[in-house]
Chain A
Amino acid sequence: MELKTKINAEEGKHDLVITREFDLPLELLFKAYEEPEIVEQWMGTKVVKLENKKHGGWQFETSDPNGNVVFQANGVYHEFVPNRKITRTFEMGNAPFDVQLEFLEFEPLTEDTSKLTMHIVYRSVALRDQMLKLPFKQGINMAHNRLQEVVSKLK
């Protein structure tokens, strides 16, 4: 099936653009970024802090079933214009990656559809490519782990 999400990452550049058209009115799309309980559901992480205003901070945290924090991310809002725009920084905790800058633009297409354009700027080309490859590497790791599980059951 064709993915509705498009990624434009030109070679040799230190930024990328993610675009997605939603089968949702603009207000509902924006609400998904505004309300902590909803963010938790679709991001699959716990929202520790979400201060929806200029200079407000945000913080996400994901724990494994034993309560160990496995993912942590945080940042600050530089712009928070309801139904239009969010400018924020994004930084992963306990990871050797420099902070990234994100511009999120929300626009209506029709009464029932809307579009999100996410422009992410990284410190360097190398860092962008590294971040792009993270899910790719995780996918390989997961495949390895699954393989290991299967193999260990055979013993």
Chain B
Amino acid sequence: MNLRRDVFQAIADPTRRAILLLVASHSMTAGAIAANFDTARPTVSKHLQILIECELLAQEQNGREIYYHINAKKMKEVADFIEPFRKMWDDRFNKLEAIMKNYKPRK
């Protein structure tokens, strides 16, 4: 089954969010990441694979070890997509506030 990988779907999962938080500060091997979870190693691997497929994580070969690190550019995209929606409402509300500050009741 070839599921289309959606970043928003990817970060919907609490374990995957926890993984992203873990590797946010420094790159880690799959083993080191898995050590932080009670879940089975293959389950963690599956989560890592999904995060890589949607480009939130990147792999880097260092000697015999593979390190995982966060793809900051992609993370920023995720954080930003809601901003125009927020900006739209903020602009409207700013206007509302400005209008009402000058509001004079009609007789």
User: Which residues in A have some Cβ–Cβ distance to B below 8 Å?
Assistant: 3-7, 9, 11-12, 18, 20, 22-24, 28-29, 31-32, 38, 41-44, 116, 129, 132-136, 138-139
Q: State in angstroms the CA–CA spacing of A7 and B88 once bound together.
A: 11
Write the nearest CB–CB distance from A40 to chain B, whole angstroms.
Answer: 10
What are the 3 closest A-B residue pairs judged by CB atoms, nearest first?
A: A11-B12, A5-B90, A135-B84
Q: What is the CA–CA distance of A136 and B88 in the complex, to the nearest angstrom?
A: 10
9 A–B contacts, CB within 8 A, in A order: A5-B90, A5-B93, A7-B86, A11-B8, A20-B93, A31-B103, A38-B103, A42-B93, A134-B85
Nearest to B17 among chain A residues (CB) is A11
Nearest Cβ in chain A — how far from B31, in angstroms? 28
Chain A residues closer than 8 Å to B88, beta-carbon distance: 135
**Which label, helix, strand, loop or mixed, suits the secondary structure of the B interface?**
helix
- Interface membership of B1, Cβ < 8 A: no
Interface pair A31/B85, CB less than 8 Å apart: no
Across the interface, which residues of A come within 8 angstroms of B83, CB to CB? 136
Measured between alpha carbons, how far is A68 from B81 in the docked complex, in Å? 30
Is the Cβ of B86 less than 8 Å from the Cβ of A3? Answer: yes
- B96 near A132 with CB under 8 A, answer no
Q: How large is the interface on B (under 10, 10 to 19, 20 to 34, 35 or more residues)?
A: 20 to 34
Task: Please state if B96 and A18 are interface contacts (CB–CB under 8 Å).
Answer: no
Given A4-B93, A5-B86, 8 extra CB contacts under 8 A? A4-B94, A20-B90, A24-B100, A41-B95, A132-B81, A136-B81, A136-B83, A138-B84
Q: Which A residues lie within 8 Å of B90 (CB)? A: 3-5, 20
* Contact call A42/B99, Cβ cutoff below 8 A: yes
| Contact for B99 among A23, A41, A116, A139, CB less than 8 A | A41
A135 CA to B95 CA, complexed, in Å: 18
Of A5, A20, A38, most B-chain CB atoms within 10 Å: A5
In the bound complex, residues from chain B placing their C-beta under 8 Å from that of A134 are: 85
Q: Looking at the assembled complex, report how far the CB atom of A115 sits from the nearest CB atom of chain B, in whole angstroms.
A: 11
B87 within 8 A of A: yes
Interchain CA distance A41-B96 in the complex, whole Å: 8
> Which of B84, B86, B95, B100 is A31 in contact with, Cβ under 8 Å?
B100
- Smallest CB-CB separation from A134: which chain B residue? B85
A42 CA to B95 CA, complexed, in Å: 5
Which B residues touch A31, using CB under 8 A?
100, 103
Contacts of B41 in A (CB 8 A): none
| A5: chain B residues within 8 A (beta carbon) | 86, 89-90, 93
